[in-house]
Amino acid sequence: MANNIYRPIEALANDLRSGTIKSAELVEEAIKNQDHHGLNAYKTWTPNRVRLEATAADAAFEAGIDLGPLQGVPVSVKDLYGVSGYPTFAGAKSQLSAKWEAEGPVVRALRRSLAPVTGKTHTVEFAFGGIGTNPHWTMPRNPWNQNRVPGGSSAGAGVSLWEGSAMLALGSDTAGSIRIPASATGTVGVKTSMGRWSVDGLVPLSKSLDTSGPLARCVSDAVLGFAAIDPHVQNTGFGFLAALRDIGLADVQIGVCDWFFESCDPGIAEGVKAALDELAAAGARITNIDLPETREAVDIFRSGGLAASEFAAFINAEMEPHKTELDPNVSARFEAMENIPAIDYLNRKARLDELAQGIANRIADVDVIVGPTLPITPPTIQSVTDDAEYRAKNMAILNNTMIANLLQLCAVSLPVALDAENMPVGLMIMAPLDADERVLAVALAIESKLGTATDRIGMPPILGY
C-alpha cells in the first residue's frame, strides 16, 4: 500500500507487528520522499544507514521482540542532538568537535525503541532565532508556501514530516523553537516541562530554558513519541495513549487570555476563536482569564532575558573557533549580549521565578490556558533579508511562545485553521510545570473534536495528495 508513511503511528502498529508492513518499506518511502519536492529538510541524510536500522527493527519484530510504539518508525532528529555516526553542525558553518556527537538520554531512548533515524534536520545557527533562516546552508522551505519561512529554530523538523521522510521529529524549544515550526507548517509540537526530558547531548542555547520534545502530524503520534522517550511514563506507549483519552472535553476548564490574541495578522485570531467556539459547543468549559505576568515577561525577554547571556557565555567558552563565522543576524547582537551585567542577569532570573509562581497561582482554577501559537503569518523569505525587518519579525514570531519557557509552563501546539494567506494557524495549549500528561490529554480531546491536521486544514498543496 502506497503512502503508509503518512498514516498515523497507531494505525500502523498492528501491521508492523504482524509483518504486514515492514519498517524497511516505510524507510524506502521516506527515502523516495526525501527532498522530492525540494523542501530541503535535512543537513545530513544517510539512506544506507537508515536502511540498516529498519532491517534491525524488522528482525526484532520477527523474533517476537516489541520495544514500544516507535519500533520501526522513521524519526528525524534536529542537528543540535548528538547522534552516533553523524556529524553535528548545530547550524554552524563548520562541523563541531566530536564531543557534540555523543548521544544523550533522549537519543538513547530513541535508539532503545529501534526507531530508524532518517537523518539530522536543519536548524537556525545554534538555535538562536525563530524565523528559520540560516545563511550557511540552504534553508528548508515551508511546504504550504515555499516563498515563506518554515519557522525556527527547528527549521527542518516540521518540513520532514510533511515531505514524508519521517513520521516523528525531535526538536528543541528555548523560546518556541518546537511550537513555532509546528504552527508554521501545520504540525503538532510538544514543549515539555523544564527538566522533564534531559537536554544532555544537545548543543545548548540556554541552560535555564532549553527543553526537548517531539513534532508530529497528529497529537496521537506526538503522544506515542512522548511515551517512548519520557523517563517517567510507566505504562506502555499504547496504554499511555489510551489512558490520556479518558479525559473528554466536558472534563476540561479552558482559560482564554486575550493578551495572546493581540496584534494578530488577519485570520489568526479569527481561526482560533472559531475553534474555541466549536469546543464550547461540544461541552468544553471556557472562561476568560487575565495574566498580567505575560507583559512583564515579554519586557524581560526583549531586554535579553536569560538566553542572551547564557548563549554568549557558551559561545565564548565552548565555541570560540566558530565565533568569527556567526550568522550576521546573531553576530550583530553578540556584543550587546556579552555586555549584559551579571547583576542584571541575576535580577531577571529572580524576577522570572516570581512571575512563574504568580502565573501558577493565577491559573490554578483552570486546567489549561490557550491562545494562538503565533500572532503573525510566517514571513516571506524575501521580507526577512532586511536586517531590521528580520529582527522585528523574529521578535514578533516569538511573542506568544516565549511565555511558556520564561514562566515554566508546558505546552502543545496543534493546527486548527488557515489564515488569510492560507497558512496554518496553531492553537497553543499551556499547563503548569510538570502537568505534561494533562496538556497532552487536553490536546487529544481537542483534536478528537476538531480533527487532525489533515482533517482540519488538509495537506500542503505541493504534495499533490
First-residue to last-residue Cα distance in the chain: 14
Tell me the backbone φ, ψ of residue 51, rounded to 5 degrees: -65, -45
Element (H, E) at 414: strand 409-418
Active site residue 113: no
Tell me the backbone φ, ψ of residue 198, rounded to 5 degrees: -65, 145
In the block, cell 544523550 appears at: 104
Q: What is d(CA 132, CA 140) in angstroms, rounded to the nearest whole number?
A: 8
At CA 74, angle to CA 71 and CA 76, rounded to 5?
125
Q: What is d(CA 186, CA 144) in angstroms, rounded to the nearest whole number?
A: 8
In the structure grid, which three cell numbers stand for residue 436, read together?
A: 505534561
Q: Which of 23, 76, 113, 153 is catalytic?
A: 153
Nearest Cα neighbor of 400 from 380, 381, 427, 362 is 427
Contact 204, 174 (CB under 8 A): no
Q: What is d(CA 414, CA 452) in angstroms, rounded to the nearest whole number?
A: 8
Q: Which of 22, 43, 78, 191 is catalytic?
A: 78
Q: Which of 165, 177, 208, 220 is catalytic?
A: 177
Count CB-CB contacts under 10 A for residue 235: 12
In the structure grid, which three cell numbers stand for residue 304, read together?
A: 535579553
Tell me the backbone φ, ψ of residue 412, rounded to 5 degrees: -135, 140
Active site residue 153: yes
Facing residues of 148 across strands? 380
Instruction: Tell me which amino acid residue 114 is.
Output: L
In the structure grid, which three cell numbers stand for residue 307, read together?
A: 538566553
- Write the CB contacts of 357 (distance below 8 Å, at least 6 apart in sequence): none
Active site residue 78: yes
Facing residues of 13 across strands? none
- Write the CB contacts of 184 (distance below 8 Å, at least 6 apart in sequence): 132, 142, 148, 149, 150, 151, 158, 374, 378, 423, 424
Q: What is d(CA 41, CA 245) in angstroms, rounded to the nearest whole number?
A: 32
DSSP 276-297: HHHHHHTT-EEEE---THHHHH
| 324-327 long-range contacts, CB within 8 A, separation 24+ | 325/92, 325/93, 325/94, 325/136, 326/125, 327/91, 327/124, 327/125, 327/128, 327/129, 327/134, 327/135, 327/136
At CA 283, angle to CA 262 and CA 227, rounded to 5?
80
Report, as residue numbers or ranges, the catalytic residues. 78, 153, 177
